[in-house]
């Protein structure tokens, strides 16, 4: 057999077994690696490369070696789930680098982390001032987890005690010029509604649309194949359903703050009636 053909066969075999091992070992090998995962990945890659070009290595021996090294992470991961001490032995322990706003120099030395490296890890988390950090932990995969001081944390609706409308994941309705009928039916929209909406944004037919995505408020984003076509940029107004839900949230919010018991009862009753009205009219709004 010609040498190039033998190398081709061996390379294809090594690739297939390597792909199989990667699938078996799971997504952890594709994410940020721990020290052990890093060593296993390098070893498996080295074995596969050697098996592809070194004809002194029997292909059967290469396959066995790949399988053994591929099973190592699975066995150790199982043992790590059963025994935390064993997990710490293979993957190590997270290390606290900043505690109560103070940098722990001894911990940095122990983990061989220089000041410049610490500042780089902080900047990767959009933190430029060490004084803003309450706690920082160096994880086993080399990532730095940061807890900002209370006064530096972003303001959220929960912090302000505001009740907001829950946002659901957007849904694709058109992909590559094809309507995703299952998604359209799941949301209760009609093909007629979809066509009218894309025409408002410059498309004449479904095939003109590369991508269309609708959010939980019924606002439709459209991307056309023709990028030079000027799309109308009409301001998206909240749907009637969203306005009604916001009104209901306001009634529930202000009911406890009203002075009289009778007024509270009226607000609660109106909120319940409004909820029923919303449930009745939503099918027609779609």
pLDDT tens string, the chain, 286 residues long: the values are 676 677 777 778 777 777 776 666 655 555 556 666 777 778 888 888 887 777 777 878 877 887 888 777 778 778 878 888 877 777 778 999 999 889 999 999 998 899 999 999 999 999 999 999 999 999 887 889 999 998 888 877 777 777 777 777 889 999 988 999 898 888 888 888 888 888 888 888 888 899 999 887 778 888 888 766 655 554 444 456 666 666 767 666 666 666 667 766 776 777 777 777 777 766 655 5
Rounded Cα gap, residues 13 and 59, in angstroms: 9
Parallel/antiparallel/unpaired status of strands 95-99 and 133-138? antiparallel
The architecture (CATH level 2) of 171-224 comes to: 2-Layer Sandwich (3.30)
The predicted structure's pLDDT at residue 88: 76
- pTM above 0.75? no
pLDDT of 81: 81
- Phi/psi at 272 (5° precision): -65, -40
Reading the block at residue 34, the tokens are 């721990």
pLDDT value at residue 248: 66
Q: What is the pLDDT of residue 236?
A: 45
pLDDT at 95: 92
Q: What are phi and psi of 10, to 5 degrees?
A: -65, -40
CATH code 3.30.1330.60 for 95-152: no
**Quick one: pLDDT at residue 68?**
81
Q: How far apart are CA 69 and CA 17, in angstroms?
A: 12
pLDDT of residue 104: 93
Cβ(144)–Cβ(136) below 8 Å: yes
Helices 3-25 and 35-53 cross at an angle (nearest 10°) of: 160
Cross-sheet strand order for the sheet of 95-99: 102-103, 95-99, 133-138, 144-148
Return the bridge partners of 102, or none: 99
């Amino acid at each position: 057999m010609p040498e190039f053909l033998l190398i081709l066969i061996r390379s294809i075999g090594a690739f297939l077994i390597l792909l199989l091992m990667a699938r078996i070992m799971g997504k952890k090998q594709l994410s940020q690696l721990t020290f052990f995962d890093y060593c296993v990945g390098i070893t498996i890659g080295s074995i596969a490369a050697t098996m592809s070009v070194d004809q002194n290595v029997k292909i059967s021996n290469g396959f066995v070696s790949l399988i053994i090294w591929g099973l190592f992470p699975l066995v150790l991961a199982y043992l790590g789930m059963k025994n935390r001490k064993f997990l710490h032995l293979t993957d190590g322990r997270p290390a606290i680098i900043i505690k109560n706003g103070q940098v722990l120099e001894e911990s940095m030395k122990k983990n061989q982390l220089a000041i410049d490296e610490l500042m780089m890890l902080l900047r990767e988390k959009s933190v430029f001032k060490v004084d803003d950090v309450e706690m920082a932990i160096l994880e086993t995969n080399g990532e730095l987890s940061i807890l900002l001081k209370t006064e530096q944390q972003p303001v959220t609706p929960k912090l302000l005690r505001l009740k907001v409308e829950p946002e659901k994941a957007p849904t694709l309705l058109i992909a590559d010029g094809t309507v995703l009928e299952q998604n359209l039916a799941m949301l209760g929209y009609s093909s007629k509604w979809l066509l009218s909406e894309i025409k408002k944004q410059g498309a004449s037919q479904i095939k003109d649309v590369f991508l269309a995505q609708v959010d939980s408020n019924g606002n439709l984003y459209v991307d056309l194949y023709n990028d030079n076509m000027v799309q109308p940029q009409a301001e998206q107004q909240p749907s009637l359903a969203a306005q009604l839900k916001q009104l209901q949230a306001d009634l529930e919010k202000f009911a406890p703050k009203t002075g009289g018991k009778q007024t509270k009862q009226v607000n609660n009753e109106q909120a319940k009636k409004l909820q029923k009205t919303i449930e009745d009219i939503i099918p027609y709004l779609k």
